[in-house]
Amino acid sequence: AQLLIKPLVEDGKKIDGNQNIYLVGASHLRLLLGAETVGLVKECNDHTMRAFTYSSRKTFKNFAEDNHDFLTMTECQYIIKHELENLRAKDEKMIPGYPQAKLYPGKSIMRRLLTNGILVHMFPLHDTEELKKLGHTWYGQLKIRYQPLDEIRSYFGETISFYFAFLEYFTFALIPMAVIGIPYYFFAWEDYDKYVIFATFNLLWSTVILEVWKRCCAVMAYRWGTLLMKRQFEEPRPGFHGVLGINPVTGREEPVYSSFKRQLRIYLVSLPFVCLCLYISLYVMMIYFDLENYAYLYHEVNQSDLSNLLLYVPSIIYAVVIEVLNRIYQYAAEFLTSWVGPTFTFPLAGRAVFWWENGKEGGMIHLPWSRECENHRLESSYQNHLVLKVLVFNFFNCFASLFYIAFILFDMKLLRQSLATLLITSQILNQCVEAILPYCLQKRRNKRVKKRVKALQIDTDLSVFEQVNLEKEMDTYLGTFDDYLELFLQFGYVSLFSCVYPLAAVFAVLNNITEMYSDALKMCSIFKRPFSEPAANIGVWQLAFETMSVISVVTNCVLIGMSPQVNALFPDSKTELILIVVLAEMYGSLLP
C-alpha cells in the first residue's frame, strides 16, 4: 500500500499494559494517487464536478503541487483507510503468530485482524488546532445561526454533515408549525375537538418538507462531490463467518453462508423475539392505562391541587419506562442482528493510530456469542435489518398508547396530556443521557489519563503521546443511528397527533436548538474522531421518514373524519364521509 508507519514509542518499550501503538500516514503523492483509486469527485477550474485523475490534476480548482490542502483531512483519512482495507492475502494461509486467524486469497487482511481481535483499535486523532476553530464557529457562541456545514464536512465527513444538515433543516421546517400552533393552542385551549384546520395543515406539512429536503440534499451532495461518486464494491463485514467456498460473483475463495439458514434464523429466532417484545410493550401500556384510571378516580374523589398533579404522574412514569424499554430493546436487536466487535475509528490529515495486543493468541477474549445470529454478509444488509427491528419496536412502544387513546377511547383531553408528557419527558431524558452525563464522565477520564501520562518516563513526543492516550479513552462514536432515531420519533410526535397539542412543534424546536449545540459538543469533546464515509443522502432514514409521513397522512385524515365539525356535514350518511376520508388519504399519500 506504500504507506508510512512508525511506532509511537521507540526501543520496543511497552506502555499502558500490553499494547503497541503505531502511527500510519502517507506521502502527498500517494494520497493523490489514492484519490484517483477511490474515485473522489472534485471541482474543476470550469466549475464542473469530475472524478479526480492524477494525470489531469492541474485542471482541478485550487490544485498545486505544494498545496497540501487540496484534499481535506477526511478525504486523506478515507484514502488511507481504503488502502489499509485493500491489503489482501495472496498465498498466506494464516496471520504469523496467530494460527487460528485463517487467511483466504484475495480477502482483506485488516478485516481479518479486526475479526480475530488482533487489531484492537484504529482511529484518527483530532487535529487540535482545526478542532478549536471549528468548535468556536460551531458551538462556541450562543446565538442562533446556520451551522458551518462545509467545515463540518471537511473535518468529519459527509455522513456526519448530512445529519447536522438534516437536523438544521428539520428545525427550520418546524418553525411554521410552531408559529401557527401557539395561537391555535391558546385560542382553542378548552375545545379539544377544534383541530380540523391544524390537522389539514399538518397533513400537507409532513409530506412537503420531505420532498423539499430531497432537493436540498441533492444540492449539498453535488457540491461535496458525492452525488457523482461511484459506489465502492462492498466487502463482507468483519463479523461474517461461514464455510470456505467460491463466491459466484467474484469467483474468489471466501467464507459463504446459506441464505436459507439466515432466513431460518430470522423467522425462528428474531421474529418471535420481536413479537415477544411487542407483547411486553403492550402489557406495559395496559398497566399505564390502569394507573391513569386510578389517578383519575383519586382526583374525582379529592379534587385538590395534589390530586391534579397526580394526573400527570402515570404519563411521566410511562415515558421513563418507554425510554428504558427502547434502549434495552436496541441492545437486544443489535445482539440478534450482529455481535458488537472491536471498534475502529482514525487522525490528523492522514495519520492513523493502531493498538496491537500481545500476549495470548487471538488478542481479545472471544465471547461465546461472538458469532453472529443472523450473520449478514454486507454492512448495508446488517444496517437495514437493524433499522427495521428498532423502528418497528420504537414506533409501537412510543405511539401505540396514543393510537389507542385517539381511536379506541376517543379521549382527546387524555391524548393531549399523554402526548405532551411523552414528548417533553423523552426530550429531557435524551439530553441528560446523550450529552450531560457523557460530558461529565469524559472530564473525569481526562484528569486520570493526564496524571498517568505525567508519571510515565518515556522518550517520545509527549504532546502526541498524551493526545493518543486521552483519545483512546474516549467513547467510540457508533454512528448517526441514535441521532436519526431520536429525530424520527420526534417527527412522529409532531406529525401524527400535534393537531390536538399544537405546542408539540414549539417544544421540538427548542429541543433541536439545544440538540445542535449538545451534539456538536459531543462530536468535538466526548467521542473519538470517526472515519469519514462518503454519502449522498441520509440513507435508509429517508425511507423511514417517508413511511412515517404516509402514516401521518392516514392518521390526520381519520382524525379529521372523526371531528364533530365534519360529522355535522354528514348527519345522515356515514358512507359518504368514509369515502371522502379514503379519497383524502389517497390524495395526501400521492402528494409529490
Chain centre distance of CA 381: 16
Q: What pLDDT, on the 0 to 100 scale, is given for residue 378?
A: 72
Q: What is the DSSP string of 382-403?
A: HHHHHHHHHHHHHHHHHHHHHH
DSSP 126-151: P-HHHHHHHHHHHTSS-S-----HHH
pLDDT, residue 454, reads 59
pLDDT of residue 350: 39
The pLDDT value recorded for residue 417 is: 87
Say what the pLDDT of residue 19 is: 60
> What pLDDT score does 198 carry?
83
Which residues of the chain fall below pLDDT 50?
A: 17-18, 339-352, 354-371, 459
Structure confidence at residue 572 (pLDDT)? 61
pLDDT of residue 96: 80
Contact 379, 237 (CB under 8 A): yes
- Give the count of beta carbons closer than 10 Å to the beta carbon of residue 221: 20
pLDDT of residue 172: 94
Q: If you search the block for the grid coordinates 420504537, which residue do you land on?
A: 394
Distance of CA 55 to the CA centre of its chain: 38
**What is residue 533's predicted lDDT score, i.e. its pLDDT?**
83
The three cell numbers locating residue 327: 434502549
Task: Give the Cβ contact number of residue 308 at 10 Å.
Answer: 12
pLDDT of res. 540: 87
DSSP 8-state class, residue 349: G
**Amino acid at position 446, single letter:** N
End-to-end CA distance of the chain: 48
Block residue for cell numbers 450482529? 338
Q: Convert the pLDDT of each residue in 491-505 to its tens digit.
A: 999 999 888 888 999
